[in-house]
Amino acid sequence: MNPDAATALSSARGDQAMLFRDVSHGPREADLMFRLIHFWEARNLNTKTLIGQEMLLIDQEGTVIQGFVPAGRVGTFDLVAGSVYNLSNFFGSRSKDQYRVADHVATVSFSWNTSLAVVENPPVLIPDDRFRFHNYEEFKANCNSRGDLYDYVGHMNLVNGQTITDHMILDEVDIAEKRHLCVHVQTHDGPVMKLYLWDKAAADLCQKFKSYGNTPSVLLVTIVNPKHLGGTLDLTSLSSSRVFMDADVQPTRDYLEWQTDMLNSNSDIANRIADEVVTKPELVTLEELFSYIKQDSSKVAWFECMETIDDVVQGSAWYFISCGGCNSKAVKGPTSLICNNKKCVKTEVTGVPQYLTRISVYDKTEQAVFVILGDAGKELTGKHASELVANYFEANDGVGADHCVPVPQALLDTIGQTRKFIVKVSDHNLTGKTQTITVTKILPPEAPLRSTVGVGSGSSGSSGDTAGDKARKAAEILEADEAKRPKSG
């Protein structure tokens, strides 16, 4: 059919087009008029064989339905996201039970006699998009179920461990090599969740960061999969996910407006938003932690440990000098300090002391060495490292700038305390390069001790798990399950 004739015919049919709410199962000789929201390839996870082309479609009533082009017909149709189309003849197949991205019971499958034409001037208004948002509790209920995939919007607290700042720089080379990045996102005053963006979604976030004049703060990611990773409930993107920020779409604009109003009117909530809060990891013993590290299939993960401080390791510096701009390590240059981070925008580096303190800890099962970095040190002592260093030099006027400051009393006073630590099992632990465990957060001493579940050295353990099994289960392999779909018909 001539393209111009097809366009005219599709426009003429617009008023008679079937609405998505009337689509049912089976072959249909009917017209549909819709906007193509998004489309992506569906491939077999193991063989990478193309299964077909998945689509999200929306009609004039704002109803969203999933579309599907079988592998043999992929490339036959000229698809452009955002365009309005008229479709004639299709098969209403049953929507898949797993990894669904639309609520409708049917999927519009393109059949042998399907024709598709662009509608240049739609006779009716068709929305641009529609999102399906879930909160933390709903994601938690759907975790690891391979059920419906929903959308998530919130404000970013951390990106790959970096605090959101006006001059934030992302290491795109490192992100591309690892194929993913991790964002700590919080929705309104709910708990912070870790959101893992893979491949294209990670690249899209990097591009949007560069395109904004100021660092964006609001993030919306569609079609995310709730999983248990590293002892916490986390979200992972899929090949079908899309990334939006700040002013991109109406939900992000609404959230940005709420965030601005809230920051201006409620300092208490504002402080909670700025605070680095991580969803609660699994509580494990040191024995379980070391058992987890020894397993070949283990991945980088976060855990919670209740430990008693036995000693502060001495004989080496308990702090380091960081760049006041990006917190990377700063070293002495010929005339001034130089930041080790080549992407740092600071031309004049101001040195700031930061904690780098090793402590010996123990519980009922094992002993270990923890390394306390940055803010975790203040959570332990109640004082910034810069304050302790300044106090020492003020009390010792004749000491030169290169003098090694001894371990302060504020650190020594923590010996004997039992504290709850959130620790990170890093790549260096898993490859055997170090047995020292990094602490990312220390909870206040008055935090109540949770009763240990699973098997430690004193539990009855009805499940029969060995030490480390609980940690193993809490840290499933960090892989995004791609949505799969069998061929229609």
Domain check: are 209 and 303 in the same one?
Answer: no
Examine residue 480 and state whether it is found in any structural domain, yes or no.
Answer: no
Examine residue 50 and state whether it is found in any structural domain, yes or no.
Answer: yes
Mean pLDDT of 386-407: 84
Task: Give the range of the structural domain holding residue 234, as residue numbers without chain letter.
Answer: 136-274
**Token pair 């240049």 is at which residue?**
120
Examine residue 59 and state whether it is found in any structural domain, yes or no.
Answer: yes
Number of domains in the chain: 3
Examine residue 433 and state whether it is found in any structural domain, yes or no.
Answer: yes
Examine residue 85 and state whether it is found in any structural domain, yes or no.
Answer: yes
Q: Is 233 helix (H, G, I), strand (E, B) or coil?
A: strand
Examine residue 303 and state whether it is found in any structural domain, yes or no.
Answer: yes
Which residue, of 274, 298, 326, is where some domain finishes? 274
Q: How far is Cα 307 from Cα 415, in angstroms, rounded to an integer?
A: 11
Q: What is the pLDDT of residue 46?
A: 80
Which residue, of 274, 303, 328, is where some domain finishes? 274
Domain check: are 193 and 88 in the same one?
Answer: no
Query: Residue 242 is part of a domain; what is its CATH number?
Result: 2.40.50.140
Domain check: are 269 and 291 in the same one?
Answer: no
Q: Looking at per-residue confidence, does 329 or 360 come out higher?
A: 360
How big is the CA angle at 355 (ends 444 and 398), to the nearest 5 degrees? 125
Q: Check if the beta carbon of residue 300 is closer than 8 Å to that of residue 308.
A: no
- Give tens-digit pLDDT for 312-342: 998 878 998 888 766 677 777 777 788 877 6
Of 376, 372, 324, the C-alpha closest to 347 is 324
pTM of the complete model: 0.57
Domain check: are 353 and 462 in the same one?
Answer: yes
Domain check: are 114 and 143 in the same one?
Answer: no
**Band of residue 471 on the pLDDT scale cut at 50, 70, 90:** very low
Cα 260 to its chain centre, rounded Å, is 23
Element (H, E) at 11: helix 3-13
Q: What is the pLDDT of residue 458?
A: 33
Examine residue 341 and state whether it is found in any structural domain, yes or no.
Answer: yes
Which residues 6+ apart lie within 8 Å of 370 measured at CB? 307, 358, 359, 361, 421, 423, 436, 437, 438, 439
Domain check: are 420 and 336 in the same one?
Answer: yes
Token pair recorded at residue 371? 């390394």
Exposure pattern of 332-361 as b/e (b: 16+ CB <10 Å)? eeeeebebebeebebeebebbbbbbbbbbb
Q: What is the pLDDT of residue 16?
A: 74
Return the axis-axis angle of helices 250-265 and 267-274, rounded to nearest 10°: 120
Domain check: are 51 and 98 in the same one?
Answer: yes
Residue type, 149: L
Q: Has residue 69 got a pLDDT over 50? A: yes
